[in-house]
């Protein structure tokens, strides 16, 4: 009786396995990132910020795209990481790599503590509670001027060379590669999580919480776990921003930051790991260009673009590609 | 011997709304019980209450000698209660195989065993959850419950809306589950004769209360009584 089950196994198992294996297309973002480094040396400052935002969006995708936690307060963790890295540097612990780790850990702890409360809610309540958490942190950063620099921002951050070798230069070369390295590590972490059984259970939680509970999944603990990991990644993104720009302002904890990161994710495509790699560059390059060409109305154009995506390209750019690519292939076959 | 499942005078519902009133039932290990009744009398609510998904106002629930009243659903599932819900609730963006493995808990039922039991699922293993026929979805829902290695299987109208040939196939599978795997089954089913054929005891609910609790055979011998209790005229004709 086992023969029947064994027969179709080898090809089918391979099919399942290939979903997890690295596909050649997955090298594309990294090839592009390195190409940009050589092709556009004048744009590396912008490029570095895009890499930071990509990591931030990637971290949001874990909670929003995979676990279905619709949060309006992800800037809380980005900002925590940014401030912790900045404060450490100002207070004499300027070594960047350990600063990143500390910032990630601090954001993870904030994620754990707030997650204990926030993740007990859902829907509109969750939206509001996450918003409140971020606003409270921003207000705290505003009031604690002696520590954070308050509304003026934290100044006087100087970061020594990475590993004692690579100085942060004024052209943003080191910053770009530093951000790229952080993004790469974040991507490895996120990708591993997404393809693990834990990641599968997150998809299950997003699609049907009741069912996941009924098959024995401790939903709250799973959500908390991914929330902490995501918070830590967001914190690292914030810390990279601080270390590479040598400045932190209150906007890192702002509502706008939380909103923009969601917009980037929607533009790229939610719940597919690579939405971040499309949405963040697309938004920031569009913003950069539009701000130059039409400084008065650039936000209008971004809004219009978002409207079009929501109306005609559900699933973002990657969703659109999903629908167009098969048609192109079919067209090529003459059908 | 202690019963595997002991439901003692529970009153339950959704929030303040009470659907079930003072319902009790016990199930011995290896037995099967059919829950019958018209639409909206609380059959699904009884299942969901055993799983811990409703608001329990009064009463206690015991499973495998332990009090599980107030335990969250996931602990009940881990304790050995499997639930095949009415809506099947397959995860659409997981493959068939992932739908199974996401529910895996240690025990005799593993992936190969489920594929042996439902060879159709083995053929479909790389299909996404939303690319399955109704019958395949139902097999997957049952398979997914089995992956959790339950001692008690709750099945809420597993045959509803399926083609007759699939219904026969699933009924055979359910008989096998009892016979070969020794599973304890609590089955909600609209078609009385199918359910009574599978389960040796029956429970009939009406407006949230138990109106019959006894042998299936007795009911099968008295079709008029059965028809009156479940309030469906056509049940008489079918039997």
Nearest Cα of chain B lies from the Cα of A271 at a distance, in angstroms, of 11
All residues at 6 or more sequence positions from A142 whose CB lies less than 8 Å from its CB, including other chains: A148, A150, A151, A250
Mean pLDDT lowest for which of A46-60, A96-110, A321-335? A321-335
Q: How would you classify the pairing of strands B201-206 and B184-188?
A: unpaired
Q: What is the pLDDT of residue A324?
A: 87
- The count of CB pairs under 8 A between chains A and B is 84
Judge: A215–B77 Cβ closer than 8 Å, yes or no.
yes
- Alpha helices, H only, chain A: 2-6, 9-18, 28-39, 44-60, 75-90, 96-118, 123-143, 145-148, 173-194, 197-207, 209-214, 219-245, 255-268, 275-293, 298-312, 316-332
User: Judged by CB atoms within 8 Å, which residues 194-233 of A form the interface with B?
Assistant: 197, 200-201, 203-204, 207-208, 210-219
Judge: A204–B97 Cβ closer than 8 Å, yes or no.
no
Q: Which residues of chain B are within 8 Å of residue A200 when distances are taken between CB atoms?
A: 94, 98, 101-102
Distance CA B112, CA B77 (A): 21
The radius of gyration of chain B from alpha carbons, rounded to an integer in Å, stands at 17
Asked if A124 has any chain B CB less than 8 Å from its own CB, the reply is no
Nearest residue of B to residue A8, measured between CA atoms: B123
pLDDT tens string A151-200: 999 998 989 888 988 988 888 899 999 999 999 999 999 999 999 999 99
Whether B39 is in a domain gets the answer yes
CA A244 vs CA A102, A161, B133, B175: distances in Å: 16, 11, 54, 67
Pick B89's closest partner by Cβ from A2, A5, A208: A208
Asked if A250 and A151 count as a contact pair (C-beta separation under 8 A), the reply is yes
Asked if A94 and A88 count as a contact pair (C-beta separation under 8 A), the reply is yes
Q: E strands of chain A, at which residues?
A: none
Whether B13 is in a domain gets the answer yes
Q: What CATH number should be reported for the domain holding residue B22?
A: 3.40.50.300
pLDDT tens string A36-60: 999 999 999 999 999 999 999 999 9
Q: What is the pLDDT of residue A160?
A: 87
| Nearest to B209, CA basis, from B83, B4, B6, B35 | B35
Whether B176 is in a domain gets the answer no
User: Is residue A63's pLDDT more than 50?
Assistant: yes
Asked if B148 has any chain A CB less than 8 Å from its own CB, the reply is yes
Total domain count, chain B: 1
Q: E strands of chain B, at which residues?
A: 5-14, 17-27, 32-36, 55-63, 66-67, 81-84, 152-156, 184-188, 201-206, 209-215
Asked if B119 and B93 count as a contact pair (C-beta separation under 8 A), the reply is no
Whether B235 is in a domain gets the answer yes
Nearest Cα of chain B lies from the Cα of A222 at a distance, in angstroms, of 12
Asked if B95 has any chain A CB less than 8 Å from its own CB, the reply is yes
Based on the number of CB atoms within 10 Å of its own CB, is A38 exposed (0-12), middle (13-18) or buried (19 or more)?
A: exposed
Nearest residue of A to residue B104, measured between CA atoms: A215
Asked if A67 and A263 count as a contact pair (C-beta separation under 8 A), the reply is no
Asked if A240 and B123 count as a contact pair (C-beta separation under 8 A), the reply is no
pLDDT tens string B135-153: 999 999 999 999 999 999 9
| Conformational region of residue A310, where left means phi above 0, alpha means psi within -120 to 50, and beta covers everything else | alpha
Give kind and range of the element (H or E) at residue B223.
helix B223-230
Distance CA A248, CA A253 (A): 10
First to last CA, chain B: 34
Distance CA A110, CA A133 (A): 10
| Conformational region of residue B167, where left means phi above 0, alpha means psi within -120 to 50, and beta covers everything else | alpha
pLDDT tens string B185-220: 999 988 888 899 999 999 999 999 999 999 999 999
Asked if B94 has any chain A CB less than 8 Å from its own CB, the reply is yes
User: Is residue B159's pLDDT more than 50?
Assistant: yes
Nearest Cα of chain B lies from the Cα of A287 at a distance, in angstroms, of 33
Q: What is the pLDDT of residue A8?
A: 43
Q: What is the pLDDT of residue B232?
A: 58
pLDDT tens string A266-301: 999 999 999 999 999 999 999 999 888 888 888 888
User: How much is the pTM?
Assistant: 0.86
The three-class DSSP label of residue B159 is coil
Q: How would you classify the pairing of strands B184-188 and B152-156?
A: parallel
- The whole-angstrom distance between residue B70's C-alpha and the CA centroid of its chain comes to 21
First to last CA, chain A: 42
Pick B94's closest partner by Cβ from A5, A203, A217: A203
DSSP symbol at B186: E
- Tell me: ipTM over 0.90: no
pLDDT higher at B30 or A333: B30
Asked if A157 and A247 count as a contact pair (C-beta separation under 8 A), the reply is yes
All residues at 6 or more sequence positions from A235 whose CB lies less than 8 Å from its CB, including other chains: A77, A78, A80, A81, A82, A84, A103, A104, A105, A106, A107, A108, A110
Judge: A197–B101 Cβ closer than 8 Å, yes or no.
yes
In degrees, rounded to 5, the angle at the alpha carbon of residue B73 between the alpha carbons of residues B70 and B78 is 110
Judge: B73–A197 Cβ closer than 8 Å, yes or no.
no
* Residues paired with residue B84 on neighbouring β-strands, in sequence order: B155
Judge: A214–B51 Cβ closer than 8 Å, yes or no.
yes
| Nearest to B72, CA basis, from A218, A201, A120 | A218
Whether B171 is in a domain gets the answer no
DSSP symbol at B95: B
pLDDT tens string B161-174: 899 999 999 999 99
Asked if B60 has any chain A CB less than 8 Å from its own CB, the reply is no
Nearest residue of A to residue B83, measured between CA atoms: A214
Judge: B53–A214 Cβ closer than 8 Å, yes or no.
yes
| Nearest to A57, CA basis, from A315, A280, A317 | A280
Containing structural domain, residue B11: 1-80+199-239
Asked if B75 and B104 count as a contact pair (C-beta separation under 8 A), the reply is no
Give the residue extent of every domain in chain A. 26-254
Asked if B103 has any chain A CB less than 8 Å from its own CB, the reply is yes
């Amino acid at each position: 009786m086992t023969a029947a089950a064994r027969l179709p196994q080898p090809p089918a198992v391979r099919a399942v396995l290939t979903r997890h294996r690295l596909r050649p297309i997955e090298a594309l973002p990294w090839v592009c990132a390195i190409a940009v480094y050589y092709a556009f040396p004048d744009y590396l400052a912008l490029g570095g910020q895009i890499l930071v935002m990509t990591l931030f969006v990637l971290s949001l995708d874990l909670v929003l795209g995979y676990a279905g936690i619709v949060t309006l307060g992800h800037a809380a963790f980005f900002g925590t990481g940014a401030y912790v890295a900045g404060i450490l540097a100002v207070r004499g612990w300027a070594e960047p790599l350990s600063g990143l780790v500390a910032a990630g850990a601090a954001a993870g702890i904030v994620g754990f503590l707030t997650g204990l409360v926030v993740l007990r809610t859902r829907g509109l309540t969750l939206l509001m509670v996450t918003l409140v958490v971020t606003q409270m942190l921003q207000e705290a950063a505003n009031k604690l001027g002696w520590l954070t620099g308050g509304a003026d921002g934290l100044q006087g951050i100087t970061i020594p060379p990475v590993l004692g070798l690579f100085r942060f230069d004024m052209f943003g070369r080191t910053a770009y590669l530093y951000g790229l390295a952080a993004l790469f590590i974040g991507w490895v972490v996120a990708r591993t999580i997404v393809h693990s059984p834990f990641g599968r259970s997150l998809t299950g939680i997003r699609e049907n919480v009741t069912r996941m509970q009924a098959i024995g999944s401790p939903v709250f603990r799973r959500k908390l776990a991914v929330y902490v990991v995501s918070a830590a990644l967001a914190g690292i993104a914030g810390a990279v921003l601080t270390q590479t720009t040598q400045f932190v302002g209150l906007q890192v904890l702002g509502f706008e930051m939380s909103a923009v990161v969601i917009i980037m994710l929607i533009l790229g495509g939610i719940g597919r790991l690579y939405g971040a790699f499309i949405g963040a560059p697309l938004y920031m390059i569009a913003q950069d260009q539009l701000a130059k060409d039409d400084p008065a109305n650039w936000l209008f154009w971004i809004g219009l673009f978002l409207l079009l995506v929501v109306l005609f390209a559900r699933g973002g750019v990657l969703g659109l590609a999903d629908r167009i690519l098969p048609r192109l292939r079919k067209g090529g076959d003459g059908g | 011997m202690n019963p595997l499942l002991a439901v003692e005078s529970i009153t339950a519902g959704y929030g303040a709304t009470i659907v079930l009133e003072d319902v009790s039932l016990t199930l011995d290990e290896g037995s099967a019980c059919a829950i019958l009744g018209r639409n909206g009398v609380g059959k699904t609510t009884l299942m969901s209450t055993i799983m811990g998904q409703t608001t329990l106002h009064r009463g206690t629930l015991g499973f495998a000698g332990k009090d599980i009243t107030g335990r969250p659903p996931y602990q009940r599932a881990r304790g050995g209660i499997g639930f095949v819900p009415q809506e099947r609730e397959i995860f659409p963006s997981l493959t068939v195989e992932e739908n199974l493995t996401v529910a895996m808990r240690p025990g005799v039922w593993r992936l190969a065993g489920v594929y042996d039991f439902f060879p159709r699922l083995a053929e479909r293993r790389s299909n996404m959850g939303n690319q399955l026929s109704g019958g395949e979805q139902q097999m997957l829902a049952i398979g997914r419950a089995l992956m959790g290695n339950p001692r008690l299987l709750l099945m809420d109208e597993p045959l509803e809306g399926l083609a007759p040939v699939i219904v026969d196939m699933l009924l055979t599978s359910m008989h096998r589950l009892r016979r070969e795997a020794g599973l304890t089954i609590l089955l909600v089913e609209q078609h009385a004769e199918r359910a009574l054929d599978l389960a040796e005891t029956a429970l009939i609910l009406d407006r949230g209360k138990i109106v019959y609790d006894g042998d299936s055979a007795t009911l099968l011998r008295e079709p008029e009584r059965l028809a009156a209790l479940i309030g469906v005229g056509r049940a008489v004709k079918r039997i």
